[in-house]
Chain A
Amino acid sequence: MDTATLTEEVAAKTIPIYIMGKRYEVPETLTIMKAMEHSGYQYIRGCGCRGGICGACATVYRKAGDYKIYTGLACQTVVEPEMYLTQIPFYPANRASYDFESAKPTAETIYELYPELFRCVACNSCTKVCPMDVEVLDYISALKRGDITAAAEISFDCIQCGLCASRCMGEMAQYHMAQVARRIQGGKIAPKAEHLEKMCGDIDAGTFTDVLEAAKVMTEDELKKVYTEREMEPHMGADEWAPASNHGLA
């Protein structure tokens, strides 16, 4: 179970950690999230997917005798002895609303929404603080030189936890800018899938209505028969593969 109460874990060696400065003894194998629950905290904020992808549990910590700031996701980071931690479950950030339909696929769109982009002094704090190892400064630089495609690619693993914004000397919310870039890339720059358009047209034209209606009223045995006999596309084959029978195809 995903609780902190596994007997093996309770039996594990305990170490001291400092949650917002207060000392707790926790099993050394736990993540920060489970260690906080083990210590008696109940989450409302600061906990989401528990799988490292939602950005709810951004955590900042220092280690004893070390000036450096470390960051991690509470659900993914294993506790260390003498770590001083706090979660940043929310950080205010400027988000500009926009009409995506009419947005032009150029960097000017982003410049107009976020003129503060040019307040970036390239200090690289954003990259250093990113728990996902996203090269934040690199995508900001890509945006500055108008390369939306590069910004979309570099920012792809962003989970929008907001830590970059919390450290930015230019007071920017980088992750909101990256979101606009990725949408423009996906919706307006990347070539459209023509095969998809064609299939939607075929469905609208009712091309498959009869064959589907027939399948819907089949007895279970009939359905099992056509299911078992359906041709399987080979696993390692090329995309161009076509079945021997064109039954049920456009």
Chain B
Amino acid sequence: MPYTPELKELIKVVEKTRPERVAKKRAGEEIPFLSLDERKERLNFHPDFKEEGRRELKVGPSKGYGIAHEIADLLEAGSRVAPEKVDLSEPAYETDVLVIGGGGAGTSASILASQQGANVIMATKLRHGDANTMMAEGGIQAASKGHKDSPYYHYLDVMGGGHFTNVPELAETLVNNAPDAIRWLEHQGVNFTKNSDGTLETIHGGGTSRKRMHYAADITGAEIMRTIRDEARNMADSIQVLEFSPAVELVLNEHGHCAGAVLYNMETQEYFVVKAKAVVLATGGCGRLHIQGFMTTNHYGATADGIVLGYRAGVPVSFLHTVQYHPTGIVFPEQAEGILITEKFRGSGANLVNVEGNQFVNEREPRDVEAASIIKECVNDGLGVPTPTGRLGIWLDSPMIEDLAGEGTVKREFPGKYILYKRFDIDISKEPMLIYPTLHYQNGGLEFQQTGETRVPGLFVAGEVGGGIHGANRLMGNSLLDIIVFGRIAGTSASQFIQNGFKDGKLTLEHVAKYNAEVEAAGITDGRVAPAIIPDYTEPEVRERQLTAHYVGNVR
């Protein structure tokens, strides 16, 4: 739906202050960045800092650690299927490496494992490529321009963005491998936006000291995903993809090594076992858990399944108390609510302005600071823009980009979003966008090392499911980077593990039985099961009428 007459009136206020703001932008006059102390104070408005939003885990290797209720609900839950019912004696598939997850991390892990000579099965909950990778828009960071940048500055930015809590070795691995990740993608045929001489276009992102955000128009993630998916499909001889087959449990063996998984065919409703010599967990994040009721940018399958699987198998979680809210999600029109508006709009010069048409924060603060500032402006300072459904938002003044970089820039640089809004009769090259923070990224996850290995031998982790690289807050452009860098590392490490480390043995789900007992002993008897697999979007009144329907968790 187009802007209502009331909103159109409010847009006039934005238009009135625009010329002056454009002039300031041209002159390089910015709202000063907050000092580290001011950042800290501002973050009190961030949802992570709401004590009532989290609770201490009652079970598992990180017992006592306080995380969001929505994730705790899943970690303090029983298995979907009783372990003794699963026949481990006759696996349906045997392979070298089992990769769980078909996004960017899982796909790059599969390609690298296969190139090392391993046979790979990639199991994915939805289709190959249905992942948050596909939705990442703005770009991928790497210090590629030596005259002004290096992994050292990238490292500083990563650590500062994460409030200096990141695991230094993970951050170091990320930045050191970043240029090679871009080179690999370029070699695979990703169409990065470039000059005619091959120089990659780079822009700033929140919290970057150098312009090192590489991009492919405004669909960087989709361009990366479809390219590496194509490469994986070319390797069908050694990479078998099992779609609509989420993992519901990891299988260990008698030596305590990870040796496969129990998969669930969502269409035929059968459970079956894949036996593997090494497993890569690349299941992504948790946006569809709607933490604290927030809308989300995430794809349908982002339900933290891998966290549950790894945690039950004995891997602790770290940094999971922090969740990233992307500062700019669509809040109007409501049909598109939660959808990500890339940071690249701000990187290209668009201001954030309140209902009075005034700026209130530098547009390139780290994401958590930016999101906290928007929440403060709307909720505490009463300067939000009211939507027709009674919510609040802030203007993201995209028409400024036309003034700064010439007519037609918005359509050319942001074709995806231009079309999306056009469907609602809104021309974002002429009218600003109404935004509010939206649940975006799981900063933390399963504990792992820079080789991708976890404390369970044979179990490797890549991408959003792991925690520690980004500390308490990830910067824009470091997630696409993370999945490629650590996806490739995990794939390589897993195939190396097969050569030295792997020990064949009897398969077991004993750890699941034990975990179920621990959940019960903690007094959790409401029958909750995990992983969630899909979110619950069935209307309560529909459920009431489904008298013979059977739900296991959210799945009918």
Q: Which residues of A contact B (CB under 8 A)?
A: 1-6, 8-9, 29-31, 34, 37-40, 42-45, 47-54, 56, 76-78, 95, 97-100, 132-133, 152, 156-157, 159-160, 179-180, 182-188, 190-200, 202-203, 207-208, 211-212, 215-216, 220, 223-224, 226-228, 230-237, 239-243, 248-250
Asked whether any CB of chain A lies closer than 8 Å to the CB of B84, the reply is no
Q: A226 — which chain B residues lie within 8 A by C-beta?
A: 156
Contact A243 B148, beta carbon cutoff 8 Å: yes
Query: CB within 8 A of A183: which of B188, B197, B338, B538?
Result: B188
Contact B146 A202, beta carbon cutoff 8 Å: yes
Q: Mark B184-202, 1 if CB is under 8 A from A, else 0.
A: 0011111110101111101
Contact A51 B234, beta carbon cutoff 8 Å: no
Contact B537 A37, beta carbon cutoff 8 Å: yes
Interface size on B, residues (CB 8 A): 109
Asked whether any CB of chain A lies closer than 8 Å to the CB of B78, the reply is no
Interface centre among B169, B200, B236, B404 (most CB of A within 10 A): B200
Asked whether any CB of chain A lies closer than 8 Å to the CB of B337, the reply is yes
Contact B135 A3, beta carbon cutoff 8 Å: no
Give Cα distance in the complex from A182 to B180, angstroms. 21
Q: Considering the complex of A and B, which 3 residue pairs feature the smallest CB-CB distances, nearest first?
A: A183-B189, A187-B189, A191-B198
Asked whether any CB of chain A lies closer than 8 Å to the CB of B502, the reply is no
Interface centre among B219, B267, B390 (most CB of A within 10 A): B219
Contact A54 B129, beta carbon cutoff 8 Å: yes
Asked whether any CB of chain A lies closer than 8 Å to the CB of B151, the reply is yes
Q: Which residues of B contact A (CB under 8 A)?
A: 1, 25-26, 28, 30, 35-36, 126-127, 129-130, 132, 134-135, 142-153, 155-156, 159-160, 164, 168-169, 172, 175-176, 179-180, 182-183, 186-192, 194, 196-200, 202, 204, 209-211, 217, 219, 222-223, 226-227, 230-231, 233-234, 236, 244, 266-267, 288, 290, 293-297, 299-300, 334-340, 349, 364, 389-390, 404, 415-416, 419-420, 423-424, 534-535, 537-540, 542, 546, 555-556
Contact B187 A187, beta carbon cutoff 8 Å: yes
- The closest CB in chain A to the CB of B415 belongs to A157
Contact B198 A235, beta carbon cutoff 8 Å: no
Contact A183 B148, beta carbon cutoff 8 Å: no
Q: A3 — which chain B residues lie within 8 A by C-beta?
A: 535, 537
Query: CB within 8 A of B183: which of A8, A197, A224?
Result: A197
Contact B337 A56, beta carbon cutoff 8 Å: no
Query: CB within 8 A of A54: which of B299, B335, B338, B349?
Result: B299
Give Cα distance in the complex from A237 to B294, angstroms. 37
CB distance from A208 to the nearest CB of B (A): 5
Contact A186 B219, beta carbon cutoff 8 Å: no
Give Cα distance in the complex from A94 to B113, angstroms. 27
Contact B335 A31, beta carbon cutoff 8 Å: yes
CB distance from B534 to the nearest CB of A (A): 7
Q: B424 — which chain A residues lie within 8 A by C-beta?
A: 78
A-B residue pairs in contact (CB < 8 Å), sample of 13:
A2-B288, A29-B334, A42-B555, A47-B126, A76-B420, A157-B415, A190-B198, A196-B142, A212-B155, A226-B156, A230-B153, A235-B364, A239-B145
CB distance from A135 to the nearest CB of B (A): 13
Known contacts A191-B198, A224-B36, A233-B204: does B419 contact A132 (CB below 8 Å)?
yes
Contact B197 A191, beta carbon cutoff 8 Å: yes
Give Cα distance in the complex from A75 to B30, angstroms. 38
Contact B164 A2, beta carbon cutoff 8 Å: no
Give Cα distance in the complex from A154 to B132, angstroms. 25
CB distance from B423 to the nearest CB of A (A): 6
CB distance from A177 to the nearest CB of B (A): 12
Contact B164 A223, beta carbon cutoff 8 Å: yes
Give Cα distance in the complex from A97 to B232, angstroms. 10
Contact A49 B186, beta carbon cutoff 8 Å: no
- The closest CB in chain A to the CB of B346 belongs to A235
Give Cα distance in the complex from A48 to B336, angstroms. 15
Query: CB within 8 A of A52: which of B35, B132, B196, B420?
Result: B420
Contact A47 B300, beta carbon cutoff 8 Å: yes
Contacts beyond the supplied A42-B555, A78-B424, A249-B152: 17 A-B pairs with Cβ under 8 Å:
A8-B390, A29-B334, A31-B335, A48-B134, A51-B299, A152-B191, A182-B189, A182-B223, A185-B191, A193-B199, A195-B200, A198-B146, A203-B151, A212-B172, A223-B156, A230-B153, A239-B145
CB distance from A63 to the nearest CB of B (A): 17
Contact B130 A51, beta carbon cutoff 8 Å: no
Give Cα distance in the complex from A124 to B422, angstroms. 23
CB distance from A38 to the nearest CB of B (A): 6
Query: CB within 8 A of A185: which of B151, B155, B189?
Result: B189
- The closest CB in chain A to the CB of B225 belongs to A54
Known contacts A8-B390, A97-B233, A235-B204: does B538 contact A37 (CB below 8 Å)?
yes
Give Cα distance in the complex from A99 to B189, angstroms. 13
Q: A157 — which chain B residues lie within 8 A by C-beta?
A: 219, 415-416, 419
Query: CB within 8 A of B230: which of A43, A183, A193, A215?
Result: A183
Q: A188 — which chain B residues lie within 8 A by C-beta?
A: 189
Query: CB within 8 A of A241: which of B148, B190, B230, B416?
Result: B148
